[in-house]
Amino acid sequence: MEMISLVTGGSILGWAIVPLIAISLTYFQYNSADPESHPKDVHELFRMYDFIVIGSGSAGAVIASRLSEISNWTVLLVEAGGDENEISDIPALAGYTQMSELDWKYQTSPPTTSAYCLAMQGDRCNWPRGKVLGGSSVLNAMVYVRGNKNDYDNWEKLGNRGWAYKDVLPYFIKSEDNRNPYLANSPYHGTGGLLTVQESPWRTPLSIAFLQAGIQLGYKNQDINGDNQTGFMITQSTIRRGNRCSTAKAFLRPVKSRKNLHITMNSHVLKLLFNKDKRVTGIELLKNDKKIIIKVRREVILSAGAIGSPQLLMVSGIGPKEHLKEFDIPVLSNLRVGDNLQDHVGLGGLTYIIDEPLTFKKSRFQNFPTAIEYILNERGAMTSSGVEGIAFVNSRYNDKSIDWPDIQFHFTPSSINSDGGQQIKKILGLRDSVYNTMYKPLHDAETYMLLPLLLRPLSTGWIRLKSKDPKIYPDINPNYFTHKKDMDILVDAINIAMELSNTTAFQRFGTRPLKILMPGCQKYLFNSYDYWECAIRHFTFTIYHPSGTCKMGPANDPTAVVDSRLRVYGVKGLRVADASIMPKIVSGNPNAPIIMIGEKASDMIKEDWIRPKRKF
């Protein structure tokens, strides 16, 4: 085959290295697995591939790995960022990957229709997204949650045949290698898959208090990825031997030697290319400041995420025609790309103070013994992502007769103050006035946090272009809280959090809520509805679950972008497979569902090309 010669332009991530990170880096340099285990950035690319996968995140890495199982198919995986590094491998240092070179560093636009993110600089919330091999699975808190069976049954009811819970469960099981014995034999879990799932080997005693508090409020301690979701559980995480198990580590490193799989990093796709029949013919990408055209023989699979995928579609002529015409982009297919943006949102910084020295503080764990425990035994505090417990509960507004909770809690044995105002404040973009008023006084305090999240928001937002230049970040409008019921549910969730903190399980530690009033909300009475609404609109907290912007739906749905086989309407040879295809956001952290989407998409592509006389 003809080859295109490329000179790789890798860069070394520059870190302000604290002592603990320096110790860990030294360890990895001399004791880590063979560096050859990492996939290679291919220097010479073919001029044409059977399949091109754009984006190596939670779906794209899976798809590239699975398609390359067919030895006579050539697959190109295109990643805008570089490879993982030693920092991203350590669960406790997840915060150091955000706002780094591994992060796209997206921000929401200032609100126009409803107030939110007011406690953040410029009234803009940071939205980290992975710009690295493995995508956001390299930046996230590694929480393994599948969503609710009713989510997927609802997808099918919306006209998406083949996406009911019974259809997707086998794909969750296929990818999973669950290493907790009490789950391994469950019919809902898998062993031997490529993605390692287990509990962190370390947690604080407060995690048990969290479970006990749930029981005292009438909830079960159970597998929230099993038969019923409602309940409390110690967090299941995508970790392996105390280290992060990203999709790059799980799905790409084991197949790095396949000759038919090429990976090009630091390669920004600028445009999708089409012929006069509206069939995709290839891509234009930018690498080392050189524009390169790569042709495709069969399909392009777009897995650039709920922000990147709609942006690339729109700059390529697929999107709302009135919007594309604003930028003089010829309209190839008039679709509602960028609409239907959904996210899990809640109140940040809901902090509780305790009397005992049990919490996860930087000052307590940034030390030599902690580093040695991690280095020698792959155990200890550095194996923790910080999210020790997960709960799914019902607000007063939810139908409790069905197992479909509307609130999720993340329990963290730390709060905004726990690192002394260094990284947490930075990655949130929190205003100095808010931090100095509320959290700086807690510098030496023992604190934990309950993060209440709205699982199925009624309010939806949009992604729109700011320019036809694909290097200019798009306009991100989450449009939070335009429906009053969203706020009602969140305020009720805070009331439930207060009930949890008042249980004997937490009161044995002397638990009391932080009552310093949020700047901008001092006119309201603490713990009143008006106060919590104001606090939510100020310290708007998202753990970055954007979804839905390339909606999957039947042909008679005017808002649909892809069909149930993820094929883009109005063109040929193009699919989307990532969080953007979700017609409704799943009830829980979306990393595992996106991996499932990658697994299912891979099988559909194989079916469409391996069956006789079938061609897409």
Instruction: List the structure tokens of 288.
Output: 């080392």
Instruction: List the structure tokens of 171.
Output: 């794909």
Q: Render pLDDT for 405-458 as a digit per residue (tens, 0 to 9).
A: 999 999 999 999 999 998 999 999 999 999 999 999 999 999 999 999 999 999
Distance from the first to the final alpha carbon of the chain = 24
pLDDT at 91: 94
d(CA 545, CA 129): 10
> Is there a binding annotation on residue 505?
no
- The SS3 assignment for 263 reads strand
8-state DSSP, 562 = B
Q: Is 601 exposed, middle or buried (0-12, 13-18, 19+ CB in 10 A)?
A: buried
Question: Average per-residue pLDDT in the chain?
Answer: 93
- Tell me how many degrees the CA angle 265-591-414 measures, rounded to the nearest 5: 105
Q: How far is CA 27 from CA 145, 327, 373, 375, 500, in A?
A: 32, 51, 12, 7, 41
Handedness of CA 607, 609, 612, 613 (dihedral sign): positive
Q: How confident is the model at residue 611 (pLDDT cuts 50, 70, 90)?
A: confident
Beta-carbon contacts of residue 87 (< 8 Å; ≥ 6 apart) = 13, 15, 21, 24, 25, 93, 96, 97, 100
Q: What domains appear along the chain, each with residue ranges and CATH number?
A: 5-610 (3.50.50.60)
pLDDT at 375: 86
- The total of other beta-carbon atoms located within 10 Å of residue 468's CB is 14
d(CA 30, CA 288): 31
pLDDT higher than threshold 90 for residue 252: yes
Q: Render pLDDT for 101-123 as a digit per residue (tens, 0 to 9).
A: 999 999 999 999 899 999 999 99
Q: How far is CA 229 from CA 148, 552, 558, 584, in A?
A: 6, 24, 32, 18
pLDDT at 366: 81
pLDDT at 612: 54
Mean pLDDT of 16-20: 41
Beta-carbon contacts of residue 276 (< 8 Å; ≥ 6 apart) = none
Q: How confident is the model at residue 36 (pLDDT cuts 50, 70, 90)?
A: very low
pLDDT higher than threshold 60 for residue 30: no
**Which of 344, 452, 457, 458 has the alpha carbon at shortest distance from 391?**
452
> Is there a binding annotation on residue 571?
no
**Which of 490, 495, 496, 585 has the alpha carbon at shortest distance from 539?**
490
**Which of 265, 302, 391 has the alpha carbon at shortest distance from 597?**
302
Q: How confident is the model at residue 537 (pLDDT cuts 50, 70, 90)?
A: very high
User: Are 144 and 591 within 8 A, CB to CB?
Assistant: yes
d(CA 598, CA 170): 13
Q: How far is CA 487 from CA 339, 409, 513, 533, 534, in A?
A: 21, 16, 21, 7, 10
> Is there a binding annotation on residue 143?
yes
> Is there a binding annotation on residue 62?
no
- The total of other beta-carbon atoms located within 10 Å of residue 412's CB is 26
d(CA 206, CA 564): 43
Name the β-bridge partners of 430: 120
User: Are 91 and 244 within 8 A, CB to CB?
Assistant: yes
Residue linked to tokens 């706020």? 487
Largest CA-CA distance found in the chain, in angstroms, rounded: 71
HEC letters along 79-109: CCCECCCHHHHCHHHHHHHCCCCCECCEECC
- Among 18-27, 253-262, 430-439, 578-587, where is mean pLDDT lowest? 18-27
Instruction: List the structure tokens of 385.
Output: 């992502």
| Amino acid, res. 265 | M
545 among known catalytic residues:
yes
> Is there a binding annotation on residue 576?
no
Where residue 450 falls (left for φ over 0; alpha for ψ -120 to 50; beta otherwise) is: beta
Where residue 397 falls (left for φ over 0; alpha for ψ -120 to 50; beta otherwise) is: alpha
pLDDT higher than threshold 90 for residue 222: yes
> Inter-axis angle of helices 368-377 and 19-31, to 10 degrees?
20
Element housing 298 (H / E): strand 290-302
Where residue 266 falls (left for φ over 0; alpha for ψ -120 to 50; beta otherwise) is: left
Instruction: List the structure tokens of 348.
Output: 């940040």
**Which of 480, 422, 456, 469 has the alpha carbon at shortest distance from 108?**
480
Torsion of CA 381, 384, 385, 390, to 10 degrees: -130
- Among 299-313, 367-381, 473-487, where is mean pLDDT lowest? 367-381
d(CA 39, CA 33): 13
d(CA 60, CA 82): 15
Name the β-bridge partners of 334: 319
pLDDT at 288: 94
Mean pLDDT of 228-244: 97
d(CA 247, CA 58): 6
Q: How confident is the model at residue 610 (pLDDT cuts 50, 70, 90)?
A: very high
Element housing 19 (H / E): helix 19-31
Q: How confident is the model at residue 95 (pLDDT cuts 50, 70, 90)?
A: confident
Instruction: List the structure tokens of 176.
Output: 């999973």
pLDDT higher than threshold 90 for residue 28: no
Of 189, 323, 538, 545, which residue is the catalytic one? 545
User: Are 133 and 241 within 8 A, CB to CB?
Assistant: no
- The SS3 assignment for 377 reads helix
Q: How confident is the model at residue 16 (pLDDT cuts 50, 70, 90)?
A: very low
Phi, psi (rounded to 5 degrees) for 382: -70, -10
> Inter-axis angle of helices 484-501 and 206-216, to 10 degrees?
110
> Is there a binding annotation on residue 115?
no
Mean pLDDT of 127-144: 97
User: Are 97 and 104 within 8 A, CB to CB?
Assistant: no
User: Are 257 and 269 within 8 A, CB to CB?
Assistant: no
pLDDT at 449: 98
Q: How confident is the model at residue 354 (pLDDT cuts 50, 70, 90)?
A: very high
Instruction: Give me Rg for the CA atoms of the chain.
Output: 23
**Order of all β-strands in the sheet with 236-237:** 176-178, 195-199, 236-237
Mean pLDDT of 136-141: 96
